[in-house]
Amino acid sequence: MLIEFICNGQPIEVDVPADMRALDLIRDELGLTGTKCGCSKGECGACTILVNGLPECSCLLLAPKLQGRKITTIEGLEGPGRKLHPIQEAFLEEGAVQCGFCTPGMILSTKALLDRCPSPTVAEIEEGLSGNICRCTGYTKIVKAVQSAALKLNGTNL
């Protein structure tokens, strides 16, 4: 079936099988391999994308459900001139990245959190990222990165 949606600001029109997962559409058809598959069951959060600004596991979402929506993948975060998004910058600077496989999903969940809650408490950060598993970092530096990103973003908005 033919669907239309906006991906990282670009209009997309694509013919997809009705049972295709959004994850496979994004990775295999659109070539956006920054979205990762960790479990295919919505348990790890590695495949998180933003759908109309809200984090969703793209492994549990059928591609036709993207019809008429705006989605953001990790590839949509970098600014012009390869400028890192402040959240990406914060993850890098705080050492919140080790193997990096959970990172795209973690960063997108962070974006969704900071978009709706610009100065989150630690409890709010934990809630916002509770669907994203990281086996490497122990999360300490991820929490710091979210706090640092919040400061950066709030600074930009002033």
Partner 1 sequence: MKNKNLKQVGRSVLKVDGRELVTGKAKFCSDFQFSDLLHGYACRSNIAAGIIKKIETTVAENIPGVVAVILPEDILGNNIIGILPPFDQPLLADREIRYAGESYCLVIATSQKAAKAGARAIKATIEPLSPILTIDEALAEGARKIHPSGNITASKNLIKGNVEKAFSEADVIIEDTFETSNQEHAYMETETVCAIPTGDGRVTVHASCQSPFHIRGHIAANLNVPAAQVKVIQAYTGGSFGGKDDAATEIGSLAAIAALKLDHPVVIANEREESITGSSLRHASRINYRVAAKKDGTIIGKEIDILLDGGAYAAESPFVVMKALIHSAGPYKIDHVKVKSTAIYTNKTYCGAFRGFGVPQVTFACESIMDELANKLKMDPLEIRKKNALKPGDPNATSQIFQKSVGIVETIDKVAEVSDAYDLPTEDQDRYLYGTGFASMYQGISNGAEGIDVVGASVQIMQDGSALVSIGLTELGQGSRTVFAQIAAEVLGLSMDKVMVKHVDTDSVHDSGPTVASRSTTVGGMAVYKAAGEVKNSLLKMAAIMFKTEEENIVLKDNFAQLIFDDKAKIPLNEVCVAAYWTGFPLMNLSFSKAPESKYDQDTTQGNIYIAYNYGTHMMSVRIDKLTGEVKVLKHLAVHDAGKVVNPKAFEGQIEGASLTGFGLAHLEKIQYKNGVILNPNLADYAVPTIKDRIPSETISVETYNPTGPYGVKGIGEPPVSGAAASFANAVAKATGIRFKKLPITRQVILEAINRNK
Q: In this structure, which amino acid lies at residue 100?
A: G
Q: Tell me: does residue 62 bind partner 1 (CB under 8 A).
A: no
| Interface with partner 1 in residues 1-40 (CB under 8 A) | 27-28, 31-40
Residues 6+ apart with CB under 8 A from 138: none
Q: Kindly tell me which residue out of 6, 62, 98, 147 binds partner 1, with binding defined by CB under 8 A.
A: 98
| Interface with partner 1 in residues 105-144 (CB under 8 A) | 107, 125-126, 129-130, 132-143
Report the candidate in 151, 123, 129 with the shortest Cα–Cα distance to residue 44. 129
Residues 6+ apart with CB under 8 A from 140: none
Rounded to an integer, what distance in angstroms lies between the CA atom of residue 16 and that of residue 20? 7
Q: Kindly tell me which residue out of 3, 50, 58, 104 binds partner 1, with binding defined by CB under 8 A.
A: 104
DSSP character for 63?
G
- Site residues (CB under 8 A) for partner 1? 27-28, 31-41, 43-44, 46, 73-75, 77-78, 84, 88-89, 91-95, 97-104, 107, 125-126, 129-130, 132-143
